[in-house]
Structure 1
Amino acid sequence: MKIVYKTDTLPHVQQVSELFRSSGIKRPYDDLERLQRMLEHADVTITAWDGYQLVGLARAITDFSYCCYLSDLAVQKEYQQNGIGRNLIRHLRDLLGDEVSLLLISAPSAIDYYPKLDFERTEKAFIIPRQA
């Protein structure tokens, strides 16, 4: 398996839908119009490919100067535990540089995963949840 990482390729919305469905991440994968808006308005999208198959994605919103919100980190179920998530984060951090902090909101099932990727848990965050 030779995984190729790209920052210059925006995948088709249907590929992203299938990736989200397969990965187990909770996203509106049946709402292609909403997914398309999510893709179009991200500042950074890093993808992982096995040939022509999208197997991983990191999507982020950032000012490229101070902070970056990692809104999606998804790896296809069959490809999980192969370092793809770690490599997507590494590529994102390389792109952002040392001046930019990286933050995210974890799904309860992934709480133990992110410390393995050098994320520090914090009790200082607040959220107003979306209504839909």
Structure 2
Amino acid sequence: MSIKYEVNVPVTSDQFIELLRESTLGERRPIDDRDCMEGMVKNSNLMVTAWNDGKLIGIARSMTDFHYACYLSDLAVHREYQKKGIGKRLQIITQGELGPKCKLILVAAPAANSYYEHLGFKNNPRCWVLDREQNIGS
């Protein structure tokens, strides 16, 4: 198995959706909302990908200013390739693209807490989420 890692190479919405379906993230992402998925791919400014024979098998999709904060929105690895160090490598390459003081921030699914702790992330209970459906100020 020869895995090739790339930074900011084009990824189609179909490739992204297929990878999410074949990883645990498909359950928590709007994979049936084509416009949303296309926007997620188009508007990310840092994507590190893993490929095997031209097939997308892993992605670290982020939004960042490269100096202070990087939000790692999606870290997904195809089920058949999990537990081979691909997710860790995607995260390491992502960090390598950032400035020395840039924090890598993510929101983990409860089942993934031990995985991120193993990678060296520290739990921070100060994350807040405001869903769009909620009326601000009411």
TM-score w.r.t. structure 1 length? Answer: 0.94
Secondary structure, counterpart of 1:96 in structure 2: coil
Alignment correspondent of 1:21: 21
Letter in 1 for 2:93: H
* Structure-to-structure mapping, 1:31-42, within 5 angstroms: 31-42=33-44
* Percent identity (aligned): 39
Alignment correspondent of 1:12: 12
The one of 67, 78, 81 equivalent to 1:79 is: 81
Assess if the C-alpha contact under 8 Å between 2:58 and 2:87 holds in 1: yes
- Segments of 5+ residues of structure 1 without an aligned counterpart are none
- Segments of 5+ residues of structure 2 without an aligned counterpart are 134-138
Letter in 1 for 2:36: R
| Shift in Å, 1:126 | 1.8
* Structure-to-structure mapping, 1:80-119, within 5 angstroms: 80-119=82-121
| Shift in Å, 1:129 | 3.1
Query: For residues 23 and 132 of structure 2, what CA distance do their matches in structure 1 show?
Result: 22
Query: In the TM superposition, what whole-angstrom CA distance separates every residue of 1:68-119 from its partner, at most 9, and x where no partner exists?
Result: 1000000001100000000000000000032100010111121111011110
Assess if the C-alpha contact under 8 Å between 1:17 and 1:32 holds in 2: no
The structure with the largest alpha-carbon Rg is 2
Assess if the C-alpha contact under 8 Å between 1:14 and 1:32 holds in 2: no
Moved over 4 A (4+): none
Letter in 1 for 2:91: I
Secondary structure, counterpart of 1:69 in structure 2: strand
Query: For residues 30 and 125 of structure 1, what CA distance do their matches in structure 2 show?
Result: 27
Alignment correspondent of 1:45: 47
| Shift in Å, 1:130 | 4.5
Secondary structure, counterpart of 2:70 in structure 1: strand
TM-score w.r.t. structure 2 length? Answer: 0.90
Q: Say what the alpha-carbon RMSD is for the aligned residues.
A: 1.4
